[in-house]
Structure 1
Amino acid sequence: MDISGKVAIVTGGGAGIGEAIARRIVSGGGKVLVADLNSDGAERVAADINEEHPGTALAVAGDVADEAVLADLIARAERELGPVDIFFANAGIPGGLGLDSTEEQWSKALGVNVMAHVRAARLLVPGWIERGSGYFVSTASAAGLLTQLGSVPYAVTKHAAVGFAEWLSVTYGDRGIGVSCLCPMGVKTELLDTGFEIGDGDAVLAARAVTSAGTVLQPAEVAERVVEAIADGRFLILPHPQVLDMYRQKGADYDRWIGGMRRYQAGLLAQGEN
């Protein structure tokens, strides 16, 4: 899909990857609704975009795990920008760390990282089928293909996000619906920085695992890869190409891969003790 002339909704658009995607959509000739729980962030991004491209961005604050909020986002976008062509399910939260993650943390992680995707698709896909076109982009993580050391809710929900995106593509790909799934490793965002700032051992382990596995990219670099994938109609978006090699190694010998992950974890823990 060519983004020129298209209307997009980007959740988690007030910072990081979401902000970069919103800016890239508009620079490519589209319009965007920037959604974020942080109203200041969403309004800042939309204002910056409109300053350069007047009338192309709209900011809406709300919790995208809530289906009523999602319905409002879609209605606002259609009323003020036009029919929604692309939905970026980009909002994400860590949700907790180890087995002591609370029920509330699990519920919030499942709500934002998985069910927000399901609920958005439930609202949009029927209309897209009638129109014969539409595009859904799920921001998962390399943690959804591999795993995430330290944070179990994040690892589990990102696996689920990949699974839902796969199902969506298989089920509706022949009916005009495009689907892509973004699975980056380290990206310079607040979510990554928070892991180091918290100071908790599991949080630091999770952040160190990401930063030591490969280059930490800037959000704009990731947004560029996303737009390229949409143009090509490609499902899996891997800004870090080495993730595919790791994924192949995992599938080729699962036990060996798990053993390697244990050794990798032990090495990172040893670094933290020094």
Structure 2
Amino acid sequence: MHTMWKGTISFGLVNIPVKLHAATENKDIKLRQLHEECKSPVEYEKRCPVCEKEIESDEIVKAYEYAKNKFVVLDKEDLDQLKKEQEDKAVEIMDFVKLEEIDPIYFERSYFISPSEGGAKAYSLLRQALGDTGKIGIAKIIIRSKEQLAIVRVYENTLLMETIHFPDEVRAIQDVPNVPEETELSKKELSTAVTLIDQLTAEFDPEKYKDDYRTALMDLIEAKKNNEEVTTAKDKPKPDNVTNLMDALEKSLEKTKGTKKKKTTKRKTTTSGKKKTS
């Protein structure tokens, strides 16, 4: 399992060298976009609209837009230093709380925690202590240049870290449109709804739920592939020096159109000193 973060988790004077591994994976079926005419993959280039040219990655800098078209440019060195300062800190568990005190809206991503060399005993100590108390730890961690609020809890026999949103990242419910106020309901309506919920109540079994759309989409793809309803992208044409030369000449001609100065009319001077047009 790929290690995506290494560091230490501490609570009190106990330090645990650990590694994080992604606990979930995205199984969405990724579809490519092709040009309908020739069935070739569509490319997306990084292009500057002002300089009107394609730019390389090393020509790009990061900036914060504090007002429309006004930016504060952040040097790579500054960002790297800031990132290092934060990542070098141990992940310290700040508080222990009950899991049910956290609303699911806060939860984001899950990571398995494994002990690094020399950390097995401290890992086991935290796992056992969390299990015995029924508590979870609240901590902060830097992942991919972003500070995250996180919880540490026991999942089966493994420590699990779940990143959670900061309070200001959860939008205010007052901003949700068209939410009705308390509505008067009849006893019969409410009783019927409660009865229906009771009839559909079951123990949660994750194996019971499948991604029907993904399954159907893969079946469709396999059927088309088996029926040889497939296409092969054409090779990108190699540059032709002659064609390029002609393109350059034609573009040059376009630029020169309309730039020629109009011929001035010749004028002769009469004996009276006045000029007349010939």
Structure 1-normalised TM-score?
Answer: 0.18
Give the TM-score normalised by the residue count of structure 2: 0.18
Greater strand proportion = 2
